[in-house]
Structure 1
Amino acid sequence: MIESTIAALGPWSWFVLGLLLLGLEILAPGTIFLWFGLSALVVGVVALLFDFAWQVDVGLFLVLSLVSLLIGRRLMQKLASEKGDPGLNQRGSRYVGREFTLAAPLNEGAGNLSIDDTIWRITGPDMPAGTKVRVEAIDGARLVVSRVS
């Protein structure tokens, strides 16, 4: 039954396969099926233009899939390394090196610092309110601060 449907569709079966693979890409994580789907669509165009045997079409599909997969992976890695926020999952890392003024004193090496709309726990030497501090590092969920000279 499947063979008769593929034979009846002829070159259009490659377009159906390509669209199915592209649809599967939406459901599956990663970008694996994208490259296979695009290869199937290219083979569909070639099959419409040239009357090759089905074995040539399958071979062309395999070669195009492999080449597009390798090139696509390399391209996706390059794009992933150029974009993004390296401190996305470490919010405190965005504040390292920045200077702030203490609204409340730092007693016994611990206190709080209001940054934007968040109150952070901080550690550092004892300092009175109004002292300018610089965030030096992150220690878990605490910011490590020092006095600005």
Structure 2
Amino acid sequence: MALDSIVWWHWWVAGLVFLTLEAVLPGAIFLWMGASAAVVGLLALIVPALGWKVEFIIFGVLAIAAVLAWRRWRPAPATTDQPTLNRRGQSYVGRQFTLSEPLVNGIGTLRVDDSQWRISGPGDMPAGAQVRVVAADGATLRVERL
């Protein structure tokens, strides 16, 4: 197939390929390239005498403009009233607990709600000591003595 034989439906197939790539590799870049290819296909259908060079220039300009416009005006990430949802350890930061088992060499366990957490803190602490969670590091809660 020579470049002179590019017709409108070739652009629509290219648009579908870009949209398929967007489904596999999300990031919104291929989405706008697919939309640009569809628009060029529509223009080629309406004005068949455009020529492949003009079509490629229109596609390039539309794709770049669409991606830049999307980056400029994309919506901000949604805020939530539950910022620690799915980050359970973070939800315990700032809470106070009583140790049921001693902290030995800065390592121990703490029963929080319905689960057992590994904790780390400064030095040894006896059972019954009051602690506050100051950070969550993966599955380990860092505590300080009150």
Give the TM-score normalised by structure 2: 0.69
From 29, 51, 54, the equivalent of 1:56 is 54
Aligned to 2:71: 73
How many residue pairs get aligned? The number is 141
Does the CA contact (< 8 Å) of 2:104 and 2:125 recur in 1? yes
Does the CA contact (< 8 Å) of 1:92 and 1:143 recur in 2? no
Gaps spanning 5+ residues in structure 2: where?
A: none
The SS at the match of 1:56 is helix
Counterpart CA distance in 2 for 1:118 and 1:109 is 17
What is the aligned-residue RMSD (CA, Å)? 3.6
| Residues 83, 46 of structure 1: alpha-carbon distance in 2 compared, 3 angstrom cutoff | farther
Aligned to 2:24: 27
The SS at the match of 1:19 is helix
From 107, 116, 119, the equivalent of 1:118 is 116
Which amino acid in the other structure matches residue 47 of structure 2?
F
Aligned to 2:12: 15
Counterpart CA distance in 2 for 1:111 and 1:28 is 43
Does the CA contact (< 8 Å) of 2:117 and 2:141 recur in 1? no
Gaps spanning 5+ residues in structure 1: where?
A: none
Deviates more, 1:92-101 or 1:137-146: 137-146
Which amino acid in the other structure matches residue 126 of structure 1?
M
Give the TM-score normalised by structure 1: 0.68
The SS at the match of 2:120 is strand
The SS at the match of 2:143 is strand
The SS at the match of 2:65 is helix
The SS at the match of 2:63 is helix
Counterpart CA distance in 2 for 1:41 and 1:101 is 63
